[in-house]
Amino acid sequence: MIVNFLGTGTSQGIPIIGSDHPVCLSSDSKDKRLRVSIWIRWDDNSFVIDCGPDFRQQMLRANCKKVDAILFTHEHSDHTAGIDDIRPFNFKMGEMPFYAHKRVLDNIKMRFDYIFKTEDKYPGSPSVLPIEVNNDAPFMIGDKKIIPIDALHGNLQVFGYRIDDFAYLTDIKTIEKKEIAKLQDLKVLVVNALREEYHFSHFSLQDALDFIALVKPEKAYLTHISHLMGFHEEVQKKLPENVFLAYDNLEITL
């Protein structure tokens, strides 16, 4: 299984439009972060988690030719605003399955109402097959079981997903013990870490490190990173030896 980090930035991305912050002005490519998303593939299977405003650019940059499905963590725009750009995949492969919580599917149906019109639908607009994800109801993509992990982003429910010994959790702030129990014996855990300072709805760096110490994966990668975290190279030096700041285009094989 190959995991490609399509984007590792928080909601505004890095650089931020018009910002003179030193991290936004950095010439290190690892300090340039599109909105958070990952691409997972094995054998003939290929899916992405979330579809933010940089989806088109991410698909072109990664030379991704096939997406079988999109799994959503939650409905915030940095995770959903790129939905109109699934059309090239529709034209090649037909309807795109969207796996998400019912609340998220309802939100997408409201915001992208033209996609779900049953009459007078504009020809060539996206084509989506909504599939409801329920916690404690794993589902299959290809031959692999996907286990939803329930967590909270402030007061908002979000889903993370476990596939074999890999798990991806973003935009979490609190998570119950019974959900943490689903994260045993991981080779790789990806989890969000916004910045050093406290945030009400995202893990800070310390929150993420505490969580990693609890879950004990072999390796952990941090994502959904703000410019306020600092320069990639400097932050990486301060992390425990099995914890890495993810960066755009990073590809790991499990």
In the complex, the residues that contact Zn ion under the rule CB under 5 A are 78, 171
**Shortest spacing between CB 168 and Zn ion, in angstroms:** 13
> What does the DSSP 8-state code read for residue 245?
E
| Strand, coil or helix: 25 | helix
Beta-sheet strands, E only, within 202-250 = 219-223, 243-245
Nearer to Zn ion, 54 or 78 (CB): 78
Nearer to Zn ion, 194 or 252 (CB): 194
**Shortest spacing between CB 140 and Zn ion, in angstroms:** 27
Nearer to Zn ion, 78 or 179 (CB): 78
**Shortest spacing between CB 192 and Zn ion, in angstroms:** 8
Nearer to Zn ion, 75 or 78 (CB): 78
**Shortest spacing between CB 36 and Zn ion, in angstroms:** 6
| Nearest Cα to Cα of residue 159 among 211, 103, 108, 241 | 103
> What does the DSSP 8-state code read for residue 151?
E
**Shortest spacing between CB 203 and Zn ion, in angstroms:** 12
Nearer to Zn ion, 46 or 223 (CB): 223
10-13 contacts: CB < 8 A, separation 24 or more? 10/35, 10/36, 10/78, 10/194, 10/202, 10/224, 10/225, 10/226, 11/35, 11/76, 11/77, 11/78, 13/54
Please name the residues in contact with 118: beta carbons below 8 A apart, sequence gap of 6 or more: none
**Shortest spacing between CB 55 and Zn ion, in angstroms:** 14
Nearer to Zn ion, 194 or 216 (CB): 194
Centre a 10 Å sphere on the Cβ of residue 18 and count the other Cβ atoms it contains.
6
Among left, alpha and beta (phi > 0; psi -120 to 50; other), residue 154 is: left
